[in-house]
Structure 1
Amino acid sequence: MSEQVETADVIVVGAGPGGSSSAAYLASHGLDVLLLEKSTFPRDKICGDGLTPRAVRELIHLGVPIDEADGWHRTRGLRIIGGGMRLELDWPGNATFPPFGLVRTRQDLDEILARHAAARGARLLEGINVQTPVLDERGHICGVEAKVMGPDGRATGERREFRARVVVAADGNSSRLSLGMDRPKRDDRPMGVAVRAYYETPRHDDPYLESWLELWTKDAQGERDELMPGYGWIFPLGDGTANVGLGILDTSEAFGTFDYRDVMKRWIDTMPGDWGFSEETRQAPIRGAALPMCFNRQPLYDRGLLLVGDAGGMVNPFNGEGIAEAMEAGRHAAEVISAALARATPGEREAVLRSYTAAMKDSLGGYYTLGRGFATLIGKPEIMRLAVKYGLPRRSLMRLLLKIMANLPQERGGGLDDRVINALSRMTPAA
C-alpha cells in the first residue's frame, strides 16, 4: 500500500452537476482545482433526467453546447394528467429563463459536465473514493484521504491524500465528507424517494414531459381499482427510450410502507398502449434513490468545507429537481471561493467563505421554506385529491403553479405573477 500527497487551491469531491460546475467555474477563475470522482465515467445516476429551463440556464451560463444534434432532447413544457384531465402547459420563457427544457441521461450529462470542467482547466481524477477529511490544528479541513478504485469498482489497496485551502463537498446524499465534519442530516426537512427505469418507446421524441398526479391500478375487469401513493413521470429522451419513474415524499402517511418497485410495475400496467411500456421493453432493473430537500444538511459552510447539491440537501421540494439547484450552488460556491482566496489574511478569507451560506439562502432559502409547507400539504391524500379536482380545470392557475413549482419567475420586473412569486420568496424566512 502506497500513499501520495497532491496539492491544489481547491478540492471538489464528487463530479456530479454541482461538483463539475464548481470545478469548471473555479478553474475559469484561474484557480488550481482537483475534481475527485469515486467512479469511472461513464457511470449511471438515479434521476429523472429532465432539465427544466432553470437547469438549461445554468448550462448556458457554463458554456456547455446544448445543440439537439449533439443528443439533447428539447422539451416544450409539461403535460399533467390527473382527475380524468390532460393538460399541456408550455414552459414560461422570459428574460431570465429560456422557453424550453432538455432531457439527457445522467450517464451522459455527468460525463459531459466533468469533461467540460477538465477542458476549463480542472484536474479530473476518476476512481478516487474520498473517505475522510484531513484537519489542521484549528479543526478546519485542509485535505482529504481517499481509496483508489480499479476499473471494476473495487479498491486497489492504494491510498492517496490531497491537500487544499478549501474543500467543496459535492458527494451526494450520503456525503461521507459532511458526516466526517459533523454535519448530519436534519430531520425537520422533507425527504423524497424516487424509483425509475428506462423503457423503449415509439413516443421517445414527445416534446412534453409528462406528470401523473394520480397512480391507479386496475382490477381483473380492467377498471380503476386502487389509488396508490406518489406521483409518476415520463420523460422522453429522444433516443428511442423514455425515463419512467415515480416519487413519494416522506410527508405522506404511506411513506416507507410499500414496495416502490412493485407500485411502479402496477402503474406501468395501466399506461396507454401507445407508449409501448412493458416488462419486455424495460431496458434495465428499476432502481431507486433518496431525494434530500430544503437544505437538510447545515451549515452550508463551516471550517473550510462548502456543501453543494445533494450533499447540502438542495433538491426542490415542489418538483423533485436537483440538477438546476446543484449547478446554481456550484456557481455561487466558485464565486465565493475565488473572492475568498484573493484576500490577504486568514480572517478575511474566512469572512468571505462564510458568505456562501447567505448567498444560497438568499437564492433559495425562502423558496424552500414555502416548499416545506407545500410538501406537508400534498402528503395528505385528501388535499391532493381536492387540488387535482379543482386545480387542473383552471388553466391560468396551473400556468402560475408551473412557474412556482419549477421556480421560473423572471428575476427582475416581469408580470404580476413573477412579482408575486419573488415577493413571497423574499418575505418567507429562510431556515
Structure 2
Amino acid sequence: MTTIENDADVIVVGAGPGGSTTAYHLARHGVRVLLLEKTEFPREKVCGDGLTPRAVKQLVKMGIDTSPEAGWLRNKGLRVIGGGIRLELDWPELASFPNYGLVRTRLDFDDLLAKRATEAGAELRTGVNVTGPVLDNSGRSIGVTAEIGPDKAPVTFHAPLVVAADGVSGRLPLALGLNKREDRPIGVAVRRYYRSPAKHDDNYLESWLELRSKENPDKLLPGYGWIFGMGDGRVNVGLGALNSSAAFGKTNYRRLLTDWLANTPAEWGMTDETNADGPILGAALPMGFNRVPHYTRGVLLVGDSGGMVNPFNGEGIAYAMESGELAAEVAVQALARPAGAERERALAGYPAELKVRYGGYYRLGNIFVKMIGNPQVMRIATKHGMPHPTLMRFVLKLLANLTDPRGGDAMDRVINAMTKVAPAV
C-alpha cells in the first residue's frame, strides 16, 4: 500500500473569520495547519461590519486588542427605529459576554484574523482556489485539489482532516454532495459605504425595522435596514430581506437601498451620490443550519459553509468564529486517537455539540423568520412592542443570543428555557 505524505494535520479551506479562527486554535494546540485562501489579503467582503458582544468575546479569546487605540470603534448597544419610535438599547451586563460591540471593515478584520492565525503557527497560502476533495477508496476525504496562479496550475494537498470554511458558496461541501436545505431560511443583504461626518462615529448600531421611500412615505418597503458608523468618516449602510417575504427574489435590492436612503436627512450625506464610497454590493445569508451534516467523511463544516448565520438578526461572524473554535477542539482530540472508529467517534461529537448549542435557538429563529415575513405581523409587532422598553430589552437579548447560561436574570431564564424546549433543527 502506498503511503501518502501529509502536507498538514488539518487543511482549512477559506481564511474568513471561521477559517482563521479554526486555524488559530488548532495551531495554538500544536497542530500542523495549512490555511488555504483563494484571494489575496487585504480583500473586500460584503458585510455590515458590525460585531455584537458574541463576536467580541471570540476576539478576546484570540488575544486581539479590541481597544479604540487599535483601530476599533466601540458601540454601546442597538438603536432601533420603527413605529414612529426611536429606542436605544444597551448591550446587557452579563458574566458570559462583554458589554460592548465593535465595528471594523472586513478589509481590515479578515486580514487581522489571518495574521493572528499565522502568528500562532498556521501556514497561510493565498491565491489557492480549492476545487474539491481528494477521496480515498472508502470515499473519505484525505485532502483537497486546488488551482494556483493565473494559469490555474493544478495542485493537491493531503491531510487526515479538512475543515470547510469556504463561505456561502460551499464549494467543498457541495463536491461531497451536501446541498443546501430548502426548508431553512436564507436572506439577502446589500450594503454600501457613504462618507457621513454626521453619523460616522455613532456609538450605537442603528437598526431600522421599517423602510419608507421619499416618493411614497406611506408605503412600507420590504426588508430591514442598518446604519453602522465606521469611525473613519464613513458609514456602512445596508438592508436585508428574508426568503419568507413575498417580495424575496422579486425585488431590485440596490434600487430599494437608494429609495430608502432618499428619505434620510440630507445632512447625513446618504442622499448624495457624490458621498458614496464604492458600489452597492450584495451577498446571501445562509441561516439556521441550511447545510448538514456538519461533519462527514473527514470534513468539518464551519460558519457560512454550514449555514450558521443567526436567523434572528443575520449575524454570521460570531457563529463562524465559535464553530471554528469548536471544530478545532474536536479535531485536536480526534487526531490524538488512532485513525478509524475511535477517531470517528470523536469527530461525531462536532455536529452533536453544534446541535446542543444552537439547535433549539435556530429552530425558534426559523419560526421567527416565517412570522416576520408577513408585513401585517411585523407592523403589529412594531406598533405594540416598540413602546415597551422592558419588552424590547428582552427582544434584544433573544435576537442577539446574549444570555448567561447559568444564573442570569428572569429574561435569561425564559430565553434559555425556550431554546431548551424547542426541538433542535
- Matched-pair contact (CA < 8 Å) for 2:133–2:144: yes
CA distance in 1, matches of 2:269, 2:104: 20
* Match among 245, 257, 260 for residue 264 of structure 1: 257
- Partner SS for 2:219: strand
| Partner Cα separation in structure 1 for residue 364 and residue 211 of structure 2 | 25
Which residue matches 1:80? Answer: 80
Contact 1:218 1:226 in 2 (8 A): no
Alignment of 1:112-191 (within 5 A): 112-149=112-149, 155-191=150-186
Give the counterpart letter for 1:366 in structure 2: G
SS in 2 for 1:363: helix
1:213 aligns with 2:190: no
Q: Deviations over 1:4-50 (max 9, x none)?
A: x8610000000000000000000011100000000000101111010
Moved more, 8-17 or 65-74: 65-74
Q: 2:232 aligns with which of 232, 235, 239?
A: 239
- Tell me whether 1:34 sits opposite 2:34 in the alignment: yes
C-alpha deviation, 1:274, in angstroms = 3.3
Q: Distance in 1 between matches of 2:45 and 2:180?
A: 21
**Counterpart contact for 1:6–1:161, Cα < 8 Å:** no
User: What is the letter of the counterpart of residue 227 of structure 2?
Assistant: I
* AA of the residue aligned to 1:260: Y
CA-CA distance at 1:285 after TM superposition: 0.6
Quote the Cα distance in structure 2 between the aligned partners of 1:163 and 1:157.
19
AA aligned opposite 1:261: R
Counterpart-to-counterpart distance in 2, 1:198 and 1:176 = 29
- Equivalent-residue separation in structure 1 for 2:339 and 2:181 (angstroms): 33
Query: Corresponding residue for 1:67?
Result: 67
Q: Percent identity?
A: 57
How far off its partner does 1:324 sit? 0.2
Judge conservation of contact 1:218–1:225 (CA < 8 Å) in 2. Answer: no
What is the root-mean-square deviation in Å for CA atoms of aligned residues?
A: 1.2
Q: One-letter code of the match for 1:240? A: G
Describe the superposition over 1:171-203 as per-residue Cα deviations: whole angstroms up to 9, x where unpaired.
011111001111000000000000000001112
Whether the aligned pair in 2 keeps the contact of 1:96 and 1:410 (CA below 8 Å) is yes
CA deviation map 1:73-110 (0-9, x unaligned): 00001111111110001011210010100001111110
Distance 2:69 2:390 in 1: 34
Shift of 1:241: 0.6
Deviation at 1:226, TM superposition (A): 2.4
| Contact 2:6/2:160 (8 A) holds in 1 | no
Aligned counterpart, 2:375:
381
Structure-2 residue corresponding to 1:331: 325
Structure-1 separation of matches of 2:130 and 2:331: 21
**Which is worse superposed, 271-280 or 164-173?**
271-280
Distance 1:273 1:410 in 2: 42
Runs of 4+ in 1 over 3 A off after TM superposition: none
Corresponding residue of 2:48: 48
Q: Distance in 1 between matches of 2:14 and 2:79?
A: 33
Distance 2:339 2:347 in 1: 12
Contact 1:76 1:91 in 2 (8 A): yes
Q: How many residues align?
A: 420
Asked if 1 retains the 8 angstrom alpha-carbon contact of 2:15 and 2:37, the reply is yes
Structure 1 contact 22–331 (Cα < 8 Å) conserved: yes
Distance in 2 (alpha carbons) for counterparts of 1:271 and 1:213 = 14
| CA–CA distance in structure 1, aligned partners of residues 369 and 278 of structure 2 | 30
Instruction: Look up the SS of the partner of 1:314 in the other structure.
Output: coil
Pairing partner for 2:391 from 397, 420, 429: 397
Deviations 1:225-273 (A, max 9, x none): 4211000000111111110000000000110111000000011111123
Aligned to 1:249: 242
- Conservation of the 8 A alpha-carbon contact between 2:193 and 2:277: yes
Return 5+ residue gaps in structure 1 as ranges. 150-154
